[in-house]
């Protein structure tokens, strides 16, 4: 088996606080050895064992590959005009989802796959090495299965989002659509997905209501899927209660949380309650107030950060920018934001093999072209972070 040593790491953030101390388990002048896609050794560069290949990163920082646990990347069409209208004062109400559904249904599988391949490369260039991908722009049986198959070629973290919106053809028959999503559609989609998600939002006529969301997610759990919830995005609503009630792995958005929601999430946290996945790029691109992460973190709630890259509410794939916004506007420390986009995002996917650099974990690494991960926040918008392609690097094994 071929081995490669990454040496000369000025600052290695492992998220292994138990071994290396601090909040982030930082080791300086470090090296790590990768064997067969897994981390085989971590220690000081001066003690790095002999390997087949060596890659010296010349004092740069290395962090765990970023984990983007919320994206909608399989779609066709373009809604940049909707963004322009919002910047001029228009509000987001979810109607644009149906526009993307129309464009996506009309697109060829080759077109959707090619676009997704480009998006995945774009994410990697910004340090993201694990991506959750939702369906949700098909909203019929043939297209939801098609989108999940396309997504499944790129990630094992696939999410069935048939409960994204009520499609136009069911506008006057919502119940029939909910019956389809939680019945036949779920049956054919469940084998193609690890998760189910819903857009539960009383402030959008297009999204699911509480009882509809509960039915879809309950049946999804019965079908063996883990559940996630888009909730409390456009105003206060039942999303947090529902996420706790159903044992969701994650409550996403949480832009508008009541004190009672925060209480509920804090009470559930010690028993493995939902991670709250905040999506600051959405607040940025929809002119919503940024959520208060500190209020949750101070009470022991696990907070993750994700991009929510999608054609409507945020088209940026940049987790580093999301992290910078979280520190600038949401009361997170740089340590919390780094953890939010790595180990806490991994927790929201119920994974412990990613988001941290420990012996035996996946060798998913991101290089920061700076002496410290702090430059992600200090120099926002500068493309400092990129996934480290251990197998493809010159001198890589």
Work out the end-to-end distance of the chain between its first and last CA atoms, rounded to an integer number of angstroms.
9
Binding site annotation covers 137? Answer: yes
Beta carbons of 300 and 269 less than 8 angstroms apart:
yes
Q: Which stretch binds ligand NIG (CB under 6 A): 10-18, 30-38, 174-182, 305-313?
A: 305-313
Beta carbons of 249 and 227 less than 8 angstroms apart:
yes
Q: DSSP string of 32-69?
A: EEEETTEEEEEEEGGGPPP-SEEEE-TT-EEEEPEEE-
At residue 200's C-alpha, the angle toward residues 196 and 201, to 5°, is: 160
Tell me: does residue 308 bind Fe ion (CB under 5 A): yes
Q: Which of 64, 226, 239, 311 binds ligand NIG (CB under 6 A)?
A: 311
Q: Pattern 179-208, binding to ligand NIG, x per CB under 6 A? A: --------------------x---------
How many residues does this entry show for the chain?
A: 397
Q: Which of 233, 255, 307, 348 binds ligand NIG (CB under 6 A)?
A: 233
Q: DSSP string of 102-138?
A: HHHHHS-HHHHHHHHHHHHHHHHHTTEEEE-EE--S-
Rounded to a whole number of angstroms, the minimum distance from the CB of residue 42 to Fe ion is: 35
Of the candidates 339, 354, 271, 341, the one whose C-alpha atom is nearest the C-alpha of residue 308 is: 341
Between 261 and 308, name the residue whose CB sits nearer to Fe ion. Answer: 308
Tell me: does residue 68 bind Fe ion (CB under 5 A): no
Between 60 and 230, name the residue whose CB sits nearer to ligand NIG. Answer: 230
Rounded to a whole number of angstroms, the minimum distance from the CB of residue 92 to ligand NIG is: 7
Rounded to a whole number of angstroms, the minimum distance from the CB of residue 72 to ligand NIG is: 6
Q: In angstroms, what is the C-alpha Rg of the chain?
A: 21
Q: Which stretch binds Fe ion (CB under 5 A): 256-264, 294-302, 305-313, 389-397?
A: 305-313
Tell me: does residue 197 bind Fe ion (CB under 5 A): no
CB atoms within 10 A of CB 353: 13
Tell me: does residue 97 bind ligand NIG (CB under 6 A): yes
Binding site annotation covers 313? Answer: yes
Separation CA 268–CA 47 (nearest Å): 44
Residue nearest to ligand NIG (CB): 312
DSSP 181: I
Tell me: does residue 230 bind ligand NIG (CB under 6 A): yes
Binding residues (CB under 5 A) for Fe ion: these are 308
């Amino acid at each position: 088996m071929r081995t490669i040593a990454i040496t000369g790491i000025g600052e290695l953030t492992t998220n292994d606080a138990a071994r290396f101390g601090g909040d982030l388990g930082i080791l300086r002048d470090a090296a790590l050895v990768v064997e067969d896609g897994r981390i085989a050794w971590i220690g000081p560069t001066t003690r790095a064992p002999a390997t087949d290949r060596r890659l010296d990163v010349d004092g740069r920082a290395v962090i765990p590959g970023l984990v983007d646990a919320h994206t909608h990347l399989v779609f066709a069409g373009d809604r940049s005009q909707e963004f322009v209208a919002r910047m001029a004062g228009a509000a987001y109400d979810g109607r644009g989802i149906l526009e993307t559904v129309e464009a996506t249904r009309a697109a060829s599988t080759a077109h959707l796959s090619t676009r997704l391949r480009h998006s995945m490369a774009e994410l990697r260039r910004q340090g993201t090495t694990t991506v959750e991908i939702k369906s949700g722009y098909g909203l019929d049986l043939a297209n939801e299965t098609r989108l999940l198959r396309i997504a499944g070629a790129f990630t094992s973290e696939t999410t069935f989002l048939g409960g994204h919106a009520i499609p136009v053809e069911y506008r006057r028959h919502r119940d029939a659509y909910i019956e389809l999503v939680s019945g036949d559609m779920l049956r054919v989609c469940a084998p193609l997905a690890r998760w189910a998600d819903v857009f539960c939002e009383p402030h959008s006529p297009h999204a699911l209501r509480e009882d509809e969301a509960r039915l879809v997610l309950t049946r999804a759990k019965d079908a063996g899927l883990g559940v996630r919830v888009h909730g409390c995005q456009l105003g206060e609503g039942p999303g947090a209660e529902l996420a706790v009630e159903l044992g969701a792995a994650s409550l996403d958005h949480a832009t508008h949380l009541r004190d009672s929601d925060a209480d509920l999430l804090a009470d559930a946290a010690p028993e493995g309650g939902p991670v709250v996945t905040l999506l600051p790029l959405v607040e940025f691109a929809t002119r919503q107030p940024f959520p208060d992460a500190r209020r949750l973190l101070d009470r022991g709630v696990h907070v993750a950060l994700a991009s929510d890259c999608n054609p409507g509410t945020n088209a940026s794939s940049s987790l580093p920018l999301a992290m910078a916004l979280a520190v600038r506007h949401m009361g997170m420390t740089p340590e919390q934001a780094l953890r939010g986009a790595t180990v806490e995002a991994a927790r929201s996917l119920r994974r412990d093999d990613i988001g941290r650099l420990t012996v035996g974990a996946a060798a998913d690494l991101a290089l920061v072209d700076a002496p410290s991960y702090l430059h992600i926040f200090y120099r926002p918008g500068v493309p400092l972070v990129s996934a480290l392609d251990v197998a493809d690097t010159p001198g890589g094994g």
